[in-house]
Structure 1
Amino acid sequence: MNKNDALRLIAGTMILISLILTVTLSINWLWFTAFIAANLIQSSFTKWCPMMVLLKKVGLKD
């Protein structure tokens, strides 16, 4: 698995988790979903994502 595949897997998983938490616990978990979306949008413009730094440190390749 490369960094891009891992990033997509993590982002999708986090969105699903936040939606499950919204349905089961509190509507305020939608703020977490909005944070993920905002981070994905900013990374499309800046070409920088904090998760990519972590994935590189873990040892995943491009």
Structure 2
Amino acid sequence: MTLGRAVMLFAGCMTLLSAILAWQVSEWWLLLTAFVGLNQIQTSFTGFCPAAMVFKALGAKDKAVFS
């Protein structure tokens, strides 16, 4: 799996998990959704993504996401 796809998969899973937890447990879990969204916006401007650094260290190949 490429680095970009791994980051997108992780962000999508966190968003869905947050929505499920907000529905089942507490609406405070929507703060996780807000954090993920803000992190995506921040990454688009700065290029700094902590999740990408972790996935790269785990061996994900750095390749274009869309081709």
Give the TM-score of the pair, scaled to structure 1: 0.97
- Give the count of matched residue pairs: 62
Corresponding position of 2:36: 36
Query: Is 1:45 matched with 2:45?
Result: yes
- Higher helix residue share: 1
2:61 maps to a residue whose letter is K
2:60 maps to a residue whose letter is L
Could you list the structure 1 runs, at least 4 aligned residues long, displaced by more than 2 angstroms after superposition: none
Q: How does 1:19-30 map to 2 (within 5 A)?
A: 19-30=19-30
Identify unmatched segments of 5+ residues in structure 1. none
1:11 maps to a residue whose letter is A
Identity, % of aligned pairs? 45
1:10 maps to a residue whose letter is F
How far residue 58 of structure 1 moved from its aligned partner, in angstroms, is 0.1
